[in-house]
Amino acid sequence: MERIKGLIDAPFTPFYENGEVNYEPIEAYAKLLVNNGLKGVFINGSSGEGYMLTEEERIKLAERWMEAAPEGFKVIVHVGSTCVKTSRNLAAHAQKIGAWGIGAMASPFPKVNRIEELVKYCEEIACGAPELPFYYYHIPAFNGAFLPMVDFLKTVDGRIPNFAGIKYTYESLYEYNQCRLYKDGKFDMLHGQDETILPCLAMGGAQGGIGGTTNYNGKELVGIIEAWKAGDLETAREKQNFSQEVINVICHYRGNIVGGKRIMKLIGLDLGKNRTPFQNMTDAEEAAMKAELEAINFFERCNKF
């Protein structure tokens, strides 16, 4: 299977004021990401509020992103849900429309407590799109699936023909690297934390990643990889430290899904509010966040159209 190189963005889902999905900004959204060095999108995941979308909305979003994606721009569809039948249907649809790949996180209900349960869940989903690479999305902070990923790789190895690797969004750089080293790098280990791109590059194996702050800070995050490849460690460090400063700001405003989505409005692409039960930012919070971003010169360095 082709391995992902470079950074893939996890886009937000645009909503109208009444809470309905707004498909209109997606064409401009795709252009913004391409202009700032992103290689594709991982849609309908955590940043995209995928679990709060209906099956029909998720299907329409996948179709719209495929229409908007330029040649060579990868569209990976997150198909995870609490209903494995729905996930399998979404996977089949992604294959039908020509998506590049699919992925799924562990279901938040019921909580997955055993490796075998997780492998079986992935197995039933992946078979819906046998021609597409399937990535397991490891984000235990969202679903409580704090399972050892090396053991997961050992168990899944050979059982799912189209299993490609893991989108690894967790704090253990040691475990990430052990997964990367499994069978001399058999599986594609996508880095999933924008705050630690540089250390994963330093360990020698990070080739691709999927990020959330890439929506508005992608240019700087791509710059980390470019500086590392050029042997410019000081620039790579500065860009990584700056990216952590940006993350420090959004952590004051309920993280990337809420605070980060409002940043898109501040850089010129209003994607609307978040769906219930997320607590949306007030105008006062928006103004305070803007001031914090201005204090670190964010708007001179952020993604540009």
Taken in order of first residue, the domains within the chain and their CATH numbers are 6-233 (3.20.20.70)
CA 24 to chain CA centroid, nearest Å = 21
Which one is catalytic: 121, 135, 136, 137? 137
CA-wise closest residue to 8 among 102, 71, 73, 90:
73
Active site residue 16: no
> Catalytic site residue 137?
yes
Each of the 305 residues of the chain gets a pLDDT tens digit; together they read 899 999 999 999 999 999 999 999 999 999 999 999 999 999 999 999 999 999 999 999 999 999 999 999 999 999 999 999 999 999 999 999 999 999 999 999 989 999 999 999 999 999 999 999 999 999 999 999 999 999 999 999 999 999 999 999 999 999 999 999 999 999 999 999 999 999 999 987 678 999 999 999 999 999 999 999 999 999 999 999 999 999 999 999 999 999 999 999 999 999 999 999 999 999 999 999 999 999 999 999 999 99
Report pLDDT for 79: 98
Task: Measure Cα distances from 254 to 271, 275, 303 in Å.
Answer: 17, 14, 21
Q: Output the pLDDT for position 1.
A: 83
Whole-prediction pTM value?
0.97
CA distances from 160 to 16, 63, 131, 153, 164 (A): 39, 26, 12, 11, 9
What is the chain's length?
A: 305
Active-site hit among 39, 74, 167, 239: 167
* Element of type H or E holding 168: strand 163-168
